[in-house]
């Protein structure tokens, strides 16, 4: 466009443009130079932001990549028992476990015991894949910056198992063999101390025998984590099940000491037959499973029965010296002492239970006139002596003086009519009387006598025999009686006036 002529009016469009470009009142006009400077200043900031964004993106990518890496791989400082699985893949770790199991041996030792078992001995097996998964699940790969600095012991995830009973059987067999010569544990108990004359608690002792259950448990625990060694300690010994600190033992001791406080002097006809004291009673005190002190009924009963047997004299062999000095041994008969065992047992039990101290006559169902111990003369000085070997009868009074004597004729020694030997009571006296004999249910004789003095029931006794032409010597061998002791009539009458029912009659060879 050609320049406007001076003084010439500018075109409308120019004027309009001028008007439009003119600043409005109160509005600061834009400084073009300043805007340009600002634009140049913001440009570096954009570059920095873009750079940071790129770096951040890279870091996120690296972080995520490492996290993904560890989703199937173990963190540094990772182990399973003695196996280092750091940075191993799941497949590599599984292979390492398989190899470890194949090479695994378990050594059990201590306290003199030694046993080594291989994985085949234990029939060892493991689900390797499952174990590896459990181990990997124990860490969070997205927290790897923290996880890589930590130690990772994954042994607790390892669960090896022994298939069958091979491991347990091997251990129990070895322990049983070891224990055969080992000292077994001893429970605390109570025992009688003769020096103190009292019961006291005796402490327990462990011994050297091993606890098979405890060792099997330890072996299972070691095997589960492939621990190659089990070291036995005092904790693996068989333990006493009763300790000296048990209050029940103190109670039992007190009760036992009450029992042995009893002291009984047991007499027969006033003579001491046995003494029941602490030393004897202590042998019958037993500790029950409930730790209560009781009397051993079996042992106590056995003692009472033995005492009764020792004191019983009925039918037993006795040896004595007759007043004229002849030594005689006799057996059999109905006379003597018979101890009432049940009554004696009850007496002893009651005395022990109450700590009784007394002198007690032994209860008897039959009693003699004297007691001189087993095998001794259990009758007094007064008795009738029938000596079959001499065919002679004597009677001694209470002082032992011979007050009557006579020859006799005893039973025919043919096995059927022999005069029975033994010690008897004189059962009764009768004057007169009739002797009646039977054989096979039939009456064989009926003989009247003036003086009848039976000592074997009412069938054998001393009596007058006026049919005998002589007495003494060997007449009994040919003209012997049916078992009675025949006497001359006058002598029988004299004896009848002296002897009394209840007197002792000793008939012997």
For residue 421, give both structure tokens. Answer: 């030997």
Name every residue whose Cβ is closer than 8 Å to that of residue 29 and which is 6 or more positions away in sequence: 23
Q: Does the structure show a pLDDT above 90 at 290?
A: yes
For domain 383-508, the CATH architecture is: Beta Barrel (2.40)
Mean pLDDT, range 24-44, rounded to an integer? 58
Mean pLDDT, range 199-208, rounded to an integer? 95
For 146-179, the pLDDT digits (tens) are 888 898 887 777 655 555 577 889 999 999 999 9
Q: Give the integer Cα–Cα distance in Å for 320 and 260.
A: 38
Q: Pick from 37-51, 57-71, 90-104, 343-357 the range whose average pLDDT is largest.
A: 343-357
Instruction: Name the E strands within 128-260.
Output: 152-153, 161-162, 189-193, 198-202, 229-231
The yes-or-no answer on residue 384 being catalytic is no
Q: Does the structure show a pLDDT above 80 at 5?
A: no
Q: Given 463, 482, 507, 508, which residue is catalytic?
A: 463
Find residue 295's DSSP bridge partners.
285
Mean pLDDT, range 69-98, rounded to an integer? 86
Name every residue whose Cβ is closer than 8 Å to that of residue 24 and which is 6 or more positions away in sequence: none
Of the two residues 291 and 20, the one the predictor is more confident about is 291
Q: Does the structure show a pLDDT above 90 at 98?
A: no
Q: Give the integer Cα–Cα distance in Å for 391 and 468.
A: 14
Mean pLDDT for all residues in the chain: 88
The yes-or-no answer on residue 463 being catalytic is yes
pTM of the model as a whole: 0.60
Q: Does the structure show a pLDDT above 80 at 79?
A: yes
What pLDDT is recorded for position 335?
97
pLDDT tier at 38 (50, 70, 90 boundaries)? low
For residue 341, give both structure tokens. Answer: 């065992």
DSSP secondary structure letters along 26-93: T-PPP-HHHHHHHHHHHHHHHHHHHHHHHHHHHHHHHHHHHHHHGGGBPPSSEEETTEE-TT-BHHHH
User: Domain spans of the chain?
Assistant: 248-321+333-366, 383-508
Do 248-321+333-366 and 383-508 have matching folds?
A: no
Q: What percent of the chain has pLDDT over 70?
A: 90
Please give the helix or strand (H or E) that residue 453 lies within, else none: strand 452-456
For 299-342, the pLDDT digits (tens) are 999 999 999 999 999 999 999 999 999 999 999 999 999 999 99
Q: Given 364, 384, 484, 507, which residue is catalytic?
A: 484
For 474-486, the pLDDT digits (tens) are 999 999 999 999 9
Q: Does the structure show a pLDDT above 60 at 7?
A: no
Q: Does the structure show a pLDDT above 80 at 466?
A: yes
Which CATH number applies to 248-321+333-366: 3.40.47.10, 3.40.50.970, 3.30.930.10, 3.10.20.800? Answer: 3.10.20.800
What pLDDT is recorded for position 41?
62
């Amino acid at each position: 466009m050609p320049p406007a002529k001076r003084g010439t009016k500018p075109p409308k469009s120019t004027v309009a443009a001028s008007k439009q470009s003119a600043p409005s009142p109160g509005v600061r006009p834009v400084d073009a130079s300043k805007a340009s400077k600002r634009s140049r200043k913001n440009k570096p900031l954009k570059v920095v932001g873009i750079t940071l964004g790129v770096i951040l993106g890279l870091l996120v990518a690296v972080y995520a990549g490492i996290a993904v890496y560890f989703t199937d791989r173990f963190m540094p400082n990772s182990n399973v028992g003695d196996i280092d699985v750091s940075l191993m893949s799941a497949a590599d770790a599984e292979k390492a476990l398989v190899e470890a199991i194949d090479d695994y041996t378990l050594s059990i030792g201590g306290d003199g015991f030694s046993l080594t078992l291989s994985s085949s001995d234990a029939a060892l097996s493991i689900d390797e894949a499952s174990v590896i998964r459990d181990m990997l699940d124990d860490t969070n790969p997205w927290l790897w910056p923290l996880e890589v600095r930590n130690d990772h012991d994954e042994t607790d995830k390892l669960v090896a198992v022994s298939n069958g009973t091979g491991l347990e059987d091997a251990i129990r067999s070895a322990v049983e063999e070891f224990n055969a010569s080992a000292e077994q544990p001893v429970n605390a108990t109570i025992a009688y101390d003769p020096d103190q004359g009292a019961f006291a608690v005796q402490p327990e002792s462990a011994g050297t025998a091993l606890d098979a259950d405890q060792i099997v448990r330890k072996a299972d625990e070691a095997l589960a984590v492939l621990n190659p060694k089990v070291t036995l300690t005092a904790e693996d010994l068989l333990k006493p099940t009763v300790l000296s600190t048990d209050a029940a033992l103190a109670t039992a001791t007190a009760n036992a000491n009450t029992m042995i406080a009893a002291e009984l002097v047991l007499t027969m006809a006033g003579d001491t037959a046995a003494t029941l004291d602490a030393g004897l009673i202590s042998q019958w005190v037993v500790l029950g499973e409930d730790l209560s002190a009781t009397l051993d009924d079996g042992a106590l009963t056995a003692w009472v029965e033995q005492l009764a047997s020792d004191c019983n004299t009925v039918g037993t062999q006795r040896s004595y010296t007759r007043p004229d000095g002849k030594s005689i041994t006799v057996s059999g008969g109905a006379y003597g002492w018979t101890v009432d065992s049940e009554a004696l047992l009850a007496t002893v039990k009651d005395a022990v239970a109450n700590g009784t101290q007394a002198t007690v006559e032994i209860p008897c169902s039959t009693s003699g006139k004297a007691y001189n111990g087993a095998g001794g003369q259990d009758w007094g000085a007064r008795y009738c002596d029938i000596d079959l070997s001499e065919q002679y009868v004597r009677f001694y009074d209470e002082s032992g003086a011979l007050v009557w004597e006579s020859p006799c004729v005893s039973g025919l020694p043919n096995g059927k009519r022999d005069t029975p030997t033994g010690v008897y009571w004189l059962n009764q006296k009768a004057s007169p009387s009739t002797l009646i004999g039977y054989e096979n249910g039939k009456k064989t004789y009926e003989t009247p006598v003036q003086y009848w003095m039976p000592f074997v029931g009412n069938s054998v006794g001393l009596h007058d025999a006026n049919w005998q032409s002589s007495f003494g010597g060997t007449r009994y061998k040919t003209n012997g009686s049916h078992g009675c002791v025949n006497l001359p009539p006058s002598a029988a009458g004299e004896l009848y006036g002296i002897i009394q029912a209840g007197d002792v009659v000793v008939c012997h060879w």
